[in-house]
Amino acid sequence: MKALLPLVLMLLASPTFAAITVFTTANHPAINADATTRVIFLDAPDRQQDAILGQFNSDSIRAAHEAESGLQQMSAEQQQQIVEAWRGVIAAWKLGIEKYPAVVFDDVDVVYGTTDVDLASNIRTQGGHQ
């Protein structure tokens, strides 16, 4: 048991890696994001809808028929893509993200106005001041 104590203390003292999420749009990609950084494109639901269903008619009745037809013809993979796109938007709502772009650390600390993970990390380290 005593042999495990140094290992436990070392694990407790070792730095933890922050879970980082970048909330942005396709026009503003994440910068300095690594493979562990989650990137959520808030415009993904609209882009997915446009890609799968196309643009709707300006006549609301015809648009409703087009949407219904498109939804019936949608593959399971396309449905999953739309679900995933909305999950990202819902995650932003749940976290209370007020604007984008935003870099979120551990679902707690938010740095607005950049997609640069390194810059956001530096701002966070300095207590929000750059």
* pLDDT for residue 35 is more than 80: yes
Tell me what the mean pLDDT of segment 66-84 comes to. 83
pLDDT of 73 reads 80
User: How remote is the C-alpha of 115 from its chain's centroid?
Assistant: 11
* pTM flag (> 0.85): no
